[in-house]
Each structure stands twice: as structure tokens, then as C-alpha cells.
Amino acid sequence: MRRRRSRAKGMMERYTSDGGLTLTSMMDILTTLLFFVLKSYVSGGEVTVPPPGVTLPRSTVNADMHTSVVVAIDHDGIMMDGERVATVQEATATDELMIAPLAKRLTEARAQMDELAQRKGEKQETARLATIQGDAGIEFRVLQKVMYTLDRNGFPDIALAVLKKA
Amino acid sequence: MRRRAQRKELKVNTDLKLMPLMNIIIALIPMLLLSAVFLEVKVIETSLPRDADAAAAAAAEPATPPLDLAVHVRGDVYVIEGHGVSTLLVPRRGVASAPDSVATSLLSQALRGITASHPGTTEVRIVAESRTHYQEVIALMDVARGAGLVNAALEGAGDPGAPGAAPAAAGGM
């Protein structure tokens, strides 16, 4: 009788758990996920997210972005550093290639950059870089006018932002 | 009896305490996922021709006339032309956001043929109409780059003589 009771006790011990969670497998999953997320981060170049409403065109190019003045163009307007400076309608209303409000903002930005460079004791650059984040569906005439305005206001080096094709 | 009691007291729980680590990781993962940028933004670097470059180009007279290769976007056709190159026409879908696969293949084939017969050629002009979509221009630049024409210049079709309508950009990609 006593032996049977001890055998039953042994079986109970074998088949019952203490009720605690098995965290090791979950930790493995989470650690793998953590490394994956860290690896997905852009490790080089400038990290930029196109403004809402702008779907960048896709390209096979592989050059990284650099810090620069950003001009975004969507179907309605032209934005500089996140602020709307002109509408596409205004830009295309005339045959004039220069977009006056954008030119004004670019001149101001350039003056600010020159002043900063002067305060830092750096040499003033003659040609500065600007990045165009244009929506894939915009018309070429808008792009051409923006490029012309950038060139005439001290930004002849232009980078066209695109999404890398898979 | 006393010894047994001492042994009981010395018993240490060696299990790792994973809960604090779990809490940190669970907080860290959503934070990283929210701030992560999964879109790979790249750039096509271009620079507009400067007055000094134009003067230098005008001063240096080449021994042979330049190829002056150009891809025109015209209505329902792409036109490839250049000096010493027979004009090639590639069908285009009317208002297309990008050349279709057939057009891309034909354009690529034609441009590869030209670069093979004119080694060292890296420049091409992409002459777009005012209403051509930006995606189509980028796609044409991609096709040209694939054929070895890494310096693509953009040009507006409407007004070739106007200031600024001359190569809008020459891209070294």
C-alpha cells in the first residue's frame, strides 16, 4: 500500500509542472527580431522619408543621399524643407522657367548657409547640392522649372531622389 | 539535524530571471519598428552645365563631330538619333507612366548597339515633352545607364533655344 502510494506520488511529480512560463523560446524569437530590426536600419547616407503625398519614382540607381536642401514636388505644390512655397498651378501658369517664390526661398537658404559657413570660418561654397523629391506622376515641365530655378539660385548640383527597385 | 537545516538555507535558485530582459526587449522592438525606415531612398546625381563648361567646350574643337546621341519622347514613339547613327523608332504607349517591357527591351537593345559601335560614348540626351511623366524620364535614364550611357542629360522638347531649356541636367550616375 505504501509502495503504491509512493509510485503514484512519483508519477504526479513527473507529469505536473510548476505553472511557470517557458520563456527561453520566446526570448529566442524576440532576440532574433531585435537583430533583424537593427539590421534593417539604414546604416549609411542620409535617412530621408518622402513627404506625405509624394510617391518617388523607382530606379535601379544605387547612389546614397547626402545632406542637402530638399525640394519636394507633389501634384499640387512645391515644398522646400517641408514648407509649401508655391503651387504647381502657379509654376505652370507662365512660360517663365524661374519659379519666383522658390527662388526667393533658395536665396534666403543660401544666405543662411553662407552666414553659417562664415561664422564657422569655413570657405563659402560656390555650388551647393539640392535634392528633388518629385512624385513619379509629375510632369516634366514642372521638374524642368524647379531644376532651372535651383541652378540659377546657386544650386547647380541636383540629386533626383528615387526609390531603389528591388 | 542542524547540518541538514544549514544545507537547506544554502540552497540557491540558479534560474535566470528573464522577465526584466523580456520587458526591455518588448519595449524596444515596437520603438525600433516605429522609427525604422524600410524604404531605400537613392539619388541620381546630376549637375547643370555651367557657363565655363560651355565656353571650354566651344573652345575645344573636336577632331570628329560628336555623336550627340538623343532619345526623344514624341507622342506614341521614342526616337533615337545622333550624328552618324540611323534614326530608330520604338513604339510608345500614349500617355505612359513608364516604357512598357517591350519598349524597354527595344530601347536597351538599340542603345547597346550604338555604344558597342561607338566605344567610349557615355553621354545621351533625353528629350522629354512637357507632359512626360517624371517616372518615364527616370525609366529612360535607367535604360540608358544599363546600356553604358551613364551621363544622361535632360532636355525639354518644346523650346530648344530658350535659356535653361538646353540640357536641364547632365547626370553622372
Torsion angles phi and psi, residue B39, rounded to 5: -85, 130
Residue A140, CB-side half-sphere exposure with 13 Å CA sphere = 26
Give the span between the Cα atoms of A128 and B8, in whole angstroms. 76
Place of cell 517641408: A82
Q: What is the DSSP letter of B67?
A: -
* Whether residue B79 has pLDDT greater than 80: yes
Q: Cβ–Cβ of A136/B133 closer than 8 Å?
A: yes
B18 touching A, CB under 8 A?
A: yes
B149 touching A, CB under 8 A?
A: no
Give the span between the Cα atoms of B98 and B133, in whole angstroms. 8
Cell numbers placing A64: 546614397
Q: How confident is the model at residue B161 (pLDDT cuts 50, 70, 90)?
A: very low
Place of cell 535653361: B164
**Residue of chain A whose Cα is closest to the Cα of B126:** A140
Q: How far is CA B151 from CA A134, B117, B126, B146, B159, in A?
A: 20, 18, 10, 11, 22
Residue of A139 and A22 predicted with greater confidence: A139
Q: How far is CA A142 from CA A77, A87, B150, in A?
A: 10, 10, 24
Nearest Cβ partner for A140 among B29, B33, B137: B137
Q: A115: how many CB neighbours lie within 10 A of its CB?
A: 11
ipTM for the whole complex = 0.72
Q: How confident is the model at residue A61 (pLDDT cuts 50, 70, 90)?
A: confident
pLDDT digits 0-9 by tens, B26-51: 888 888 888 776 677 888 888 776 66
Chain A closest-CA separation from residue B82 CA (Å): 23
Interface test with A, best of B26, B41, B136, B173 (most A CBs within 10 A): B41
* Whether residue B163 has pLDDT greater than 60: no
Q: Cβ–Cβ of A34/B32 closer than 8 Å?
A: yes
> In chain A, where does DSSP find H-type helix?
2-15, 23-40, 88-93, 100-120, 140-152
Cell numbers placing B149: 550611357
Interface test with B, best of A28, A74, A144, A163 (most B CBs within 10 A): A144
Q: Cβ–Cβ of A40/B169 closer than 8 Å?
A: no
**Looking at beta carbons, which residues of chain B come within 8 Å of A160?**
43-44, 46, 138, 171
